[in-house]
Amino acid sequence: MRRLFVSAGAPTLVLLLVLGLGDVPSASPLPGLGPTAAHAIDFFGRDENAEQEAWPGAFWRSKSGIEKARPLGIPTSFADLAERVAPAVVSIQTRATVRFEGFLPPGHPPGFGLPPVPGGERQFEQEGQGSGFVISRDGYIVTNNHVVEDAEEITVRFLGGQELPAEIAGLDPKTDIALLKVDPGRVKLTTVALGDSEAIRPGDWVVAIGNPFGLEHTVTAGIVSATHRRDLADIVPQAYHDYIQTDAAINPGNSGGPLIDLEGRVVGINTRIRAEANTLGFSVPINMAKQILPALREEGRATRGWLGVALQPMTRDLADAFGLERARGALIGSVLPGSPAAAAGLERGDVIIAFDEKPIDDVQSLRLIVAATPVDKVTSIVVIRDEQEETLAVEVGRLEDEPVLASVREDDPEGGGFGMRVRDVTDEDASRLGLEGEVAGVLVIGVDPGGPAAESDVRAGDIIVELDRKAVGDVEDLVEKLDASERPLLLVRRGNSTLWIRLARAAG
């Protein structure tokens, strides 16, 4: 089945939420549930102190002051809840100049063989729209990164129709979170409380408020369909996947808007949908946002923990090769010299099964936990090494922008017994691949697309440095080791990283 996922903002729509702007008609039939009462909430008392303890640097509140809605049947009404939260929801309009050469703008289907415009560049103004929500009285607003990252002009529109210009305070493409700042002046902004996304469960009611297709302050309701959706890496571009799935209707324009629990607290940031069904929506957990919002405000970018290891998933085949009873944990393919992992004594081939006393089921769970760990914190890491469990202490470093790794490929139509063709690594290869004089190993120069090597993800340009945990010196050495191995376990160098590959033999 073909699957297509698109951004909830598609590139055109975004949603912002802001609580309390100007005079909003009070229509709540219940005492204390109108917008006027929302302004009377103490946003800076004990709530702030408690939140500071849980989330250092917090500049938002965690108590909504809204009595929990208690649905008595299906259908029921979320009107009072929506009325209280609506003043904190905002619409975001963006404008950008797109420049291109030729008669057709970027992304337009090619046609008619039109040549570039002689000697010139064309441009047009592109407008976008989305959603967001206000989290502090001094004008900080949360939305999606993809809503505003390329914008030259950003305008925030509140429930009462008032508009304010906004600037980007911080961006984090890895989680698709952005923090905006408006100057409220004499406008008394109302904020929305941030809840606890770890407390919600599949089946809980949630409400989404946003601007789908420009229809401002649209309210939809549904349930949490699933939590900790981490299997979307091949669909969405963000590096950190831990989505809340909901069937509350989300459409283009909802991007950046809040997913709200029955106490009026934000538990997620609506981000993506599945194009074929608007009942499959995905929200970034608010706890993930809490981890980075202080850094976005202070530094304009996220601060994350870092180990300095290259990881790969633990498959059933690899688990068997490493003597594990089941496929679990994250396998270390390489350790960066001078990194926190190297200082802690981690080694290539270790399988990480726990970090900071939290179990590690897969690579993504480790990446999320390490990223959320405070920089310079000394914590425990449990690994399986040579089928024995060991506990090490590691001081978490700070993740900087990762370098772009170049790939090396060479065409060769022929394949060997495993569907690959190899030769010894030369000094020229070492120089071209940046190996700094390291010439040990065997270079893969061709892979048969239908052979066992290709099926095992061996690629042209890989350097085979170990087989069955033993160093490979040259082609003759590799051939001898392959002949003697029933299920070869390769360690290959790819770019600046190494990874483990269980090589299958050709049938027959």
Q: Of 80, 172, 176, 350, which one is the catalytic site residue?
A: 176
- For residue 421, give the H/E element and its range: strand 420-424
The tokens describing 505, both together, are: 């033999």
Chain Cα centroid distance, residue 155: 26
The tokens describing 90, both together, are: 């905002």
Q: Of 28, 80, 91, 146, which one is the catalytic site residue?
A: 146
Task: Kindly provide the residue ranges of all beta strands, DSSP E only, lying in 159-300, ordered along the sequence.
Answer: 163-172, 177-182, 193-194, 205-210, 218-229, 243-246, 258-260, 265-274, 277-285
Alpha-carbon separation of residue 273 from 235, 238, 251, 255, 330 (angstroms): 11, 14, 7, 9, 29
- Are 91 and 216 a contacting pair, CB within 8 Å? yes
For the chain, helix, strand, coil in percent to 5 are 15, 35, 50
Q: How far apart are CA 95 and CA 122, in angstroms?
A: 17
183 is an active site residue: no
Residue 406 phi/psi, 5-degree rounding, is -85, 145
Q: How far apart are CA 194 and CA 136, in angstroms?
A: 11
Point out which residues pair with 351 in neighbouring strands: 331, 384
- Are 244 and 259 a contacting pair, CB within 8 Å? yes
Q: How far apart are CA 61 and CA 49, in angstroms?
A: 9
- Are 446 and 421 a contacting pair, CB within 8 Å? yes
Q: How far apart are CA 161 and CA 493, in angstroms?
A: 58
The tokens describing 74, both together, are: 């299906």
Q: Of 255, 283, 365, 456, which one is the catalytic site residue?
A: 255
Residues 6+ apart with CB under 8 A from 74: none
176 is an active site residue: yes
Q: How far apart are CA 169 and CA 149, in angstroms?
A: 11
- Are 5 and 275 a contacting pair, CB within 8 Å? yes
Question: Three-class SS of residue 415?
Answer: coil
- For residue 139, give the H/E element and its range: none
255 is an active site residue: yes
CB atoms within 10 A of CB 436: 7
Catalytic residue ranges: 146, 176, 255
